[in-house]
Amino acid sequence: MRRQVPGAFDEVYARYRETIWRFLRRLSGREGVAEDLFQDTWLAVARNAHRLREDTQLLPWLFTIARNKHRNGVRFRLFDRKRREQASAEPAAGHAEVEADADARRRAAKVAGAFARLPEVYREVLLLFFEEGLTTESVARILELREDAVRKRLSRARSELARLLELPEREGK
């Protein structure tokens, strides 16, 4: 991509578009916002591909752009506060797919609602580490934090999610 080899962008896009979509969709919690961020992210990728270094790790770089687009959006600042207020005030209405088992539906909705009530900084670190399986080193690079700060944030995020889900906390990690 850095050398603008034909087809390189298409290959990267095909490989990572679902990953970036999943991250932005879960982070933002809203389809319309996620679509705007997704487009902004890939346009930024196209504009800045020439700045890639030989040793740049592609996936963390993509996540960095996506995460920064989410954080920097003016709409995000208004949206995140409103989203959390709404999530607290209303019964949790998740986007879980319909399942035959009513209990499973309730559990899925509870998880989605609890996740939606987390602050953005907790959601992003949980998604990057647990969902995308990145190392704390990669997460630290994306979030521009020290590694120990990432571990602390992960610990707090886990505790907060456990509290919202009424789960027993686990030590470690």
Partner 1 sequence: MIDRDPITSAIASLDTPPLEPRFAARVAARARLELRARARPPARGSSFFLGMGARLVPALLTLAALAQTAATGRTAAKIYARVEAAPSP
Q: In angstroms, what is the minimal distance from the CB of 90 to partner 1?
A: 18
Segment interacting with partner 1 (CB under 8 A) among 5-13, 61-69, 77-85, 140-148: 5-13
Q: Is the dihedral of CA 97, 36, 78, 80 positive or negative?
A: positive
Binding mask 55-94 for partner 1 (x = CB under 8 A): ---------------------------------------x
59: number of Cβ within 10 Å: 16
Residue 111 in contact with partner 1, rule: CB under 8 A? yes
Residue 130 in contact with partner 1, rule: CB under 8 A? yes
- Looking at the Cβ atoms of 13 and 79, the one nearer to partner 1 is 13
CA distances for 115 relative to 31, 83, 88, 123, 128, angstroms: 16, 11, 11, 7, 14
Q: In angstroms, what is the minimal distance from the CB of 105 to partner 1?
A: 11
Q: Count CA atoms within 13 Å of residue 15 on its CB side.
A: 9
- Looking at the Cβ atoms of 77 and 119, the one nearer to partner 1 is 119
Which burial class, exposed, middle or buried, applies to 52 when counting CB atoms under 10 A from its CB (0-12, 13-18, 19+)? Answer: middle
- Looking at the Cβ atoms of 112 and 142, the one nearer to partner 1 is 112
Q: How far apart are CA 49 and CA 3, in angstroms?
A: 8
Structure tokens at 119: 């602050």
26: nearest Cα among 89, 112, 142: 112
Question: Which residues form the interface with partner 1 (CB under 8 A)?
Answer: 4, 9-10, 13, 17-18, 21-22, 25-26, 31, 35, 38-39, 42-43, 45-47, 49-50, 94-97, 107-108, 111-112, 114-115, 126-127, 130-131, 133, 158, 161-162, 165, 167, 170, 173
